[in-house]
Homo-oligomer: A and B are copies of this chain.
Amino acid sequence: MSHNKWDIMKKQSSLITGGECDMSEKLLAGGIEAGGTKIVCAVGTGPDDLTRAVFQSGSDPDAAMREVTDWLRAEQGRRGTLRAVGIGSFGPVDLDPASPKYGFITSTPKPGWRDADVLGRVRRAFPEIPVAFDTDVNAAALGERRWGAAKGLDDFVYITIGTGIGAGVVAGGRPLHGLVHPEAGHMRIPRVPGDDFPGVCPYHGDCWEGLCSGPAIKSRTGFAATEIPPDSEAWRLHARYTALALGNIICALSPRRIILGGSVPKGGLLGGERFFAMVRAEVQDVLNGYVVSPALEQGIGEFIVPPGLGDDAGVCGALSLALDELDRAG
């Protein structure tokens, strides 16, 4: 998405909420989607009621996070008291509440952000309210569960394919962390015979992310995903590799639904509908009838779906983290 679009949305949102309605009885919360390029912030009660702002992540977490917290404070002045803030962050992040680095970004190659204390900076700015923290993709998954394409589901996966490939996993109704957090983009998959593209992952070469992220597509074809001709072999390969990875996710996690977000599944000149149709057919081919469920047969169209919240999944997910925190507190 272009920054222009966000600027417009921000202006629109400001206009919409300019005439203040009665927010006092609703739970006003803040959401921070901290990405490697930009940080999207929102204040509101849900996807239909958001004021937003976008800041550059840059290479100075202090400066960037000060812009974020200053904006949240200003919105609080305009819209009423924030009850909680949620942060969905790019990673890898430390999600262990017992760790001294809980809420830090850990081993990122992004300049300035290695060992950056994201959660602490927000907590210090808002010491009086709960601040929740999770991965960007776990947050997006929870946003989709609250408002989007995963309503009522306790076991599902949210995947984003863009600059990288990430997966948020909800299992038993809760985001899965485990030892660190899922990194399903780095699963290894078999190569399509004859395809000798080495992949772009600096760690694994031809893992799923190495073969199918936006930069991988650019490296393979010379084109951004948005510019590839609809009849390009690249789309067929991308659908096949993505299906092999989704097959592994189905075998490992047995999700009730897979949400495919991010820029690449929009399908560029091919179109999202055709791309999703290709992926669904390839997933059925990969599983070959072994896992028996109507959801994987006639129901495949409702099993692999785009995000219900579209590009808002991330920031709404961050907001959802905050609301979940308030739900837990009763």
Name A's B-contacting residues (CB within 8 A): 92, 106-107, 155, 167, 169, 171-172, 174, 176-191, 203-204, 206, 244, 247-256, 286, 288-293, 295-296
Contacts and interface: CB of A to CB of B under 8 A. Distances in A.
A167 to B, nearest CB: 7
A24 B200 CA distance: 64
Given A171-B171, A204-B290, A293-B179, A189 B188 contact: yes
B188 A254 contact: no
The winner among A174, A244, A250, A251 for most chain B CB atoms within 10 A is A251
Given A155-B179, A291-B183, A188 B252 contact: no
Secondary structure at the A interface, as helix, strand, loop or mixed, is loop
B249 A176 contact: no
A256 B95 CA distance: 13
Contact of A184 (B155, B182, B191, B251): B251
A189 B244 CA distance: 9
Given A155-B177, A179-B293, A183-B291, A247 B188 contact: yes
A296 B180 CA distance: 11
Contacts of A177: 155, 254
A289 B109 CA distance: 13
Given A176-B171, A178-B171, A292-B107, A286 B252 contact: no
A303 to B, nearest CB: 8
A191 to B, nearest CB: 6
Given A178-B171, A203-B288, A191 B190 contact: yes
A255 B191 CA distance: 26
B92 A292 contact: yes
Nearest to A294: B179
B179 A255 contact: yes
A53 to B, nearest CB: 32
